[in-house]
A and B are shown apart, each in its own frame.
Chain A
Amino acid sequence: MDLNCEEEEDELGFSRNYFLAKELGSSGKKSTHKLSDIDVVDEQELRAAASNIEPKHKNETAVLMDNYRHMYSQWVFALRCGSGLLMYGFGSKKALIEDFASTSLTKYSVVVINGYLQAINLKQVVIAISEILWDQLKAKRKTLSHGLPKSHQPFSSQSMDDLLEFLDEAEAEAEEDCFVCVVIHNIDGPGLRDSETMQYLARLAACTHIRIIASIDHVNAPLLWDKKMVHTQFKWCWYHVPTFAPYKAEGMFYPLILAHGSATQSVKTATIVLQSLTPNAQSVFRVLAEHQLSHPDEEGMPINDLFSVCREHFLVSSQVTLNSHLTEFKDHELVKIRRHSDGQDCLYIPLSAEAIQKLLLEISQ
């Protein structure tokens, strides 16, 4: 029962640490230094410098990766036996997994999902996988006597359930070992984290013709899965493979912490957001921006004023539509609300006049 004792000790230690930290935070005098005390260089320069950081321990990390290569055959074996591979440990595992896939999984098709991106359409992925598997089965069955049914509904018009059913088709004797490998970088990433997507991923993982190779980076990633997912669907085999490689692709969309605190929303990100919105939404934003430029001393534009101007320009027909645009803006921090001195809520863009002008130029192109 030594194990038990140790576990309890661990747990005690854990809670002790937590409370100690809490105490330290509240009782000890909190440091009052401000972020603004740091003389932060211009964001452009910061980004440029960030992209030129020289990685440390080049040789050691290369040796580390080399050592992992000796495990590739074990990984393939576990995959062929029906397990899913889950890679964790500090450092980007993108290069490692892709190297593994392109050297050891050449016999199988490999689809890569970049889970670290914000939005992923899982249906599209499943359609692509189904098409690949279809080609694979067709080629396989050509050599055998029985073929696949000639005509079939295009996958793009099938429902998710149908697609999963197709991927989960029972294997014929000659088709064993016929599967598509799905590499999921950051299965704990923002685009895949919600429970519905996870349910679909779990169902995908449970299909007979699918094998999953995934990586996690978040320390609490296992909380995403319930026991059914872990034991019967993903069937993870865990591998601790710290690589200490920089999170280049994974960190692409994170704001730089020193540039984040001040309200300098860069023109570039704002442009990207705006360009993804509908022309009407862009025009609403333009109305607001022009108002702010022409009234630099005012605290902002009252919502009612914005509504009436927009209605005159036939940009919105009702308050509801305007609100939906505004919600979108607020979510992306393009627009903020503050209380006018007369008590009215008004909208403003948290950018300098120069930045707004630049932005208007960008979106009008």
Chain B
Amino acid sequence: MALRPFPNVADSSLPASTPEAIENNVQPFFVLHKASSGRKERTSAGQGKLRKRNELSSSSPQSTKKLEGRIAEESGGHWFQQLQVETFDLVWSKIESTIKDVLRDTDASVFNQIQKWVMECFNATRSVGEPSFDEATRSFPILSDNTPSQLFAGLVITRNIEFVDDILTFKELSLFLKSHGCHVAMLSSLDFSVKNGISGCLKALLQEFLDAVVDAADMSILASWYREQGNYDKPLVVIINDLERCCGAILSDFILLLSEWVVKVPIVLIIGVATTVDAPKNIIPLHVLQQLCPCKFMLGSPAERMDAVVEAVLVKHCTRFTIGHKVALFLRNYFLNQDGTLTSFIRALKTACILHFSMEPLSLILGKILTAEQKDGNFSLSAETMLEYVSELPSHVRNQMVDQTGKNLAQDLLELVVIQKLWSTAVLCLCEAGKHSRVRLLDLFVEVLNSDLHLPSGFGSHLGAKNGLVLSSSKDQCQQHGILQRGGIICQIARKVRDLPTVILHQLVKRWEELTADVSEIHEKLEALQSSLRCEDDKSSNKISKENSKRHASRIPLSIGKDSGMINSQAVAFMDCLIRNYIRPIESLPFHEIFCFKNVEKLQLALIGDPRRAIQLDLLESHKILGCSCCKKSGSALLPSMHDSSILHSLSQEHGDLINLHDWFQSFTAIVLHHKTKRKQKAKQSPLPKKRKDTNESRDTSEASIQARFCKAATELQITGLVRMPSKRRPDFVQRIAFGI
């Protein structure tokens, strides 16, 4: 992109100082420009995009030629960025849908329970007696002693204090119930605010059910709508997703109202509760609580959801996009220490994805691979197809790379894909074993990405184990495995497996079999373990039958214990072998940059802006950012050449929480004038006319201008929120707001 020099900020030619711009500055809003001028261009770009897509999917030499021409033609990065955006869309939409599916699956059983319960409640309400036509069409509720007025309420315990994560869950629940023939209305705590009152809340309810704006807040509208054909005979469900944030009074009114109408409008409430089952007691008064007939449901904990997401996206590589160790560590700490919401984790992942595609030109290959996989429906990629993608790379086309290089690259890429598959299977196996020691997949994931883990020193004691599985026969030998000497989570898992009871070990091996089913390379290694397990089975059953016949029951556990110890040891050996052979950190593989995002600093900057710290640092260390030579010289001393706001902010650090305006101004004046007097002295010593002119020129030393500069700088600090203006009570003091960086 050809860059025209940026107009000088202070230049009078700056657009901000033209009359029109000044006019714009005081407008609350204005249209900077419309897309109209670019519209034609854009539509043509849009068509071009489709064309490009076709060209890319067919990889005939002709199209390559065209591509080449196009690149030359559009020397700007527009075309390249278009490709980047398309690839990002492709990859991220895949990740997003995978996450949605995973979360839906984790919630599926609870959703089913809720749906069943809703139907039961509906039938229960119905069985009490349907209103006659006459009754039902009247515009007031049926109230008599023998009509029920209990409202069924499902309390969904979200086990998550952050309601952000549950927004999606409840949306999914709503869709699920709708698909099972319920009418669903979603209300949020915003609808239960004092400001809106009960009428606002009713309006929101009507709008949700009727799907139209209703001016009157009247339950009879809902009742008559419910009588209509097609609406009747379906349960009505109202979902309130965050009980704790609702206004208690409004919610109580709402519940009382619904319970009066429950015969005509059989509504079932579903309430999201973040804390405990007792929460409604604290919010709703007792006489209202009596109207509710509660039932409790539990959602999965955030940590469980997190593990499910990590497994699907990062371990099973739904898109091949992955992250490096440092990024993983950062995300984990961010999740555990800062935010604790899955939503923030997903957004962080998305940001990582955006940064990856914008920074790594080769990442475009990822999109190609993904498209191919989706087309084929499996992972069967050949070196030839890889080569095709490589040859389509802009860099390749432009440089007319030698064929051999391309072939090598293709081969390496293919290898990388294969290694990734083995890697994810191995991690899943470890995770399965880790379930017995309550290891979180996220922690395990971070550890297996760590390249320090794979230092050769960890394998010092490892001899002769290179060719796969070594069957060790005793616990002592078991100690030989590097896995046990490494420390960390993997070691913890291995120790647990070493002591697992046989029955559970059996289950574990079964799960391993399932996990490795489509990866023959690892599956073979498991076979030794399986066979010894099988023969152990036979032995023990034989023994038991023998021993039973001899009625020497006391000896059984001993012998089994000894043999199973051997199997445990074999299981550990299997895990060790997994780690040694398959868990190589992705960052050590060639071409991993294509799939792997590693730049943790960039991610951190984009994700967590820390304006409080950053703005103060900008002011205190302005010379570092500006890179000027004039302010660098003297360590911490303030120089008049510094920005006025910088000087003022640095001076404010010397005061307590209150700054005396007079003192502040005097020290500011002293600093600004200090250098001037020095310069004057210098000028006296060497009275060159040029220098004298220089000092005479300094018109900004006049009292008015110093005061004005002080005022401006103070205003700027006020805009940044670092100081507060003098109050009426203390007209001579400015209040400091930020303390420390």
Contact = CB atoms under 8 A, between A and B. Distances in A.
Decide whether A and B assemble into one complex.
yes
Interface of A: 3-4, 7, 13-14, 16-18, 20-26, 28, 30-31, 33-35, 37-41, 45-50, 52-58, 60-66, 69-70, 72-74, 76-78, 80-81, 83, 86, 88-91, 94-95, 98-99, 101-102, 106-114, 117, 119-121, 124-125, 128, 132, 135-136, 139-140, 143, 159, 174, 176-177, 183, 191, 199, 216-222, 227-228, 230-232, 235-240, 242-252, 254-261
Contact of B607 (A65, A128, A221, A238): A238
Majority secondary structure of chain B interface residues (helix, strand, loop or mixed): helix
Contacts, number: 358
Interface stretch (B21-29, B312-320, B405-413, B421-429): B21-29
Nearest to B706: A49
B354 A237 contact: yes
Contacts of A90: 615, 618-619, 622, 645, 720
Contacts of B498: none
B662 A228 contact: no
Given A88-B615, A107-B42, A249 B734 contact: no
Nearest to A78: B354
B719 A250 contact: yes
A50 B35 contact: no
Contacts of B358: 74, 77-78
Contact of A35 (B29, B607, B718, B732): B732
Interface stretch (B255-263, B285-293, B554-562, B653-661): B653-661
A256 B714 CA distance: 8
7 contacts: A53-B705, A58-B8, A109-B35, A227-B162, A237-B606, A242-B625, A254-B718
Contacts of B642: 56
A220 B34 contact: no
B641 interface: yes
What is the size category of the interface that chain B forms with chain A?
35 or more
B8 A77 contact: no
A18 B656 CA distance: 9
Given A22-B657, A83-B351, A60 B715 contact: no
Nearest to A245: B9
Nearest to A107: B38
B709 A222 contact: no
Contact of A238 (B25, B89, B605, B643): B605
Given A31-B662, A83-B354, A252-B25, A95 B9 contact: yes
Contact of B618 (A26, A89, A106): A89
Given A90-B618, A95-B16, A125 B29 contact: yes
B704 A28 contact: no
A337 to B, nearest CB: 13
Contacts of B351: 83, 237
A258 B711 contact: yes
Given A21-B739, A107-B35, A216 B92 contact: no
Interface stretch (B54-62, B341-349, B453-461): B341-349
Nearest to A199: B190
Interface string B36-55: 11110111011000000000
Interface stretch (B77-85, B484-492, B545-553): B77-85
B739 A219 contact: no
B176 interface: no
Nearest to A222: B611
B710 A258 contact: yes
A40 B242 CA distance: 56
A145 B626 CA distance: 54
B55 to A, nearest CB: 19
A31 B164 CA distance: 49
A196 B514 CA distance: 53
B710 to A, nearest CB: 7
B696 to A, nearest CB: 15
Interface stretch (B63-71, B124-132, B135-143, B721-729): B721-729
Nearest to B723: A257
B33 A102 contact: yes
A343 B607 CA distance: 60
Interface string B598-611: 00000001111101
B72 interface: no
Contacts of A221: 611, 721
A227 B343 contact: yes
B620 to A, nearest CB: 10
Given A21-B739, A57-B626, A240-B609, A257 B81 contact: no
Given A62-B9, A125-B29, A261-B731, A22 B656 contact: yes
Given A60-B627, A81-B88, A66 B26 contact: no
A96 B734 CA distance: 31
Given A49-B704, A143-B43, A258-B665, 16 more contacts: A17-B740, A35-B662, A38-B661, A48-B704, A52-B708, A66-B5, A89-B615, A95-B9, A119-B28, A124-B29, A136-B35, A183-B32, A199-B190, A219-B737, A237-B354, A256-B708
Contacts of B662: 31, 33-35, 37-38
Contact of B16 (A199, A249, A259): A249
A259 B711 contact: yes
Contact of A106 (B7, B26, B38): B38
Given A26-B656, A53-B700, A80 B85 contact: yes
A187 to B, nearest CB: 12
Among all A-B residue pairs, the 8 with the closest Cβ atoms? A25-B656, A238-B609, A17-B740, A24-B656, A33-B662, A49-B708, A90-B618, A218-B721
A26 B707 CA distance: 28
Contact of B85 (A4, A81, A191, A246): A81
Nearest to B353: A81
B736 interface: yes
Given A218-B719, A228-B167, A231-B344, A117 B606 contact: no
Contacts of A228: 163-164, 167
B1 interface: yes
A30 B26 contact: no
B612 A219 contact: yes
Contacts of B6: 62, 65-66, 69, 99
B339 interface: yes
A114 B720 contact: no
Nearest to B608: A238
B14 interface: yes
B711 A57 contact: no
A217 B716 CA distance: 9
B4 to A, nearest CB: 8
Contacts of B8: 58, 61-62
B533 to A, nearest CB: 39
B663 interface: yes
B616 interface: yes
B134 interface: no
Nearest to B716: A247
Contacts of B31: 109-112, 128, 132
Nearest to B49: A177
Given A53-B709, A251-B719, A257 B661 contact: yes
A111 B30 contact: yes
A257 B715 contact: yes
B34 A174 contact: no
B337 interface: yes
Interface in B630-659: 630, 641-645, 655-658
A332 to B, nearest CB: 15
A275 B25 CA distance: 21
Contacts of A14: 739-740
Contact of B711 (A191, A220, A257): A257
A182 to B, nearest CB: 9
Contacts of B670: none
A239 B89 CA distance: 22
A242 B607 CA distance: 17
A146 to B, nearest CB: 15
Contacts of B88: 81
Contacts of B734: 257
B388 to A, nearest CB: 26
